[in-house]
Amino acid sequence: MVGDASHPQHVNISPADCRTSCQVSSVYHFFRAIQTETYGAVKTMEEGEKELEETSKALEYFRDNPDRTTADAKQEKERALRRLQTEIQELTGQLRRLKKRFEQLESAGIKAERQVYCGVRIRIGEKTLLLDKDMEGLTFTLGEDGISF
């Protein structure tokens, strides 16, 4: 079986004389998509926090120096501050959801119900394991040190 606990997929693993690769490609693409999405969310959040800080400073300046601004400019900064706070809250929630999706990768694995032959390449996410001997009835999982069985 290939996949995570909720979406197993069955595969046949061929004898060693056939160059064989078994991979959890859906997990790999899932991992890459989450990685890209997370990077984008973090970058957007960093930009939003910087803009929020600048807007807060400007609003504080307007409050301390009411004679140096107009009511419209102050209201515009207050609206921008609320918008940025909302965006940051949404991004925080998005990052929390992405973290949960990353945690799903921990349950990704390949379960060999029968024999797995020498020379078979097992790939989960970005990690690869080349088997150096025939084995039977194994479950391959992704860990911190790579693929283990």
Q: How many domains does the chain have?
A: 1
Q: What is the pLDDT at residue 79?
A: 93
Q: Which domain holds residue 80?
A: 2-148
State pLDDT tens for residues 99-129. 887 776 666 777 888 888 888 888 877 788 8
Contacts of 34 (CB under 8 A, 6+ apart): 98, 101, 102
| Calpha distance 138→109 (Å, rounded) | 10
Instruction: Say what the pTM is.
Output: 0.54
The sign of the dihedral angle between the CA atoms of 36, 40, 41, 46 is positive
The helix or strand, by DSSP H or E, that contains position 23, with its residue range, turns out to be strand 21-24
Mind listing the pLDDT tens digit for each residue in 38-91?
Answer: 888 888 889 989 999 999 999 999 989 988 889 898 999 999 999 999 999 998
Q: In the prediction, which pLDDT does 78 show? A: 92
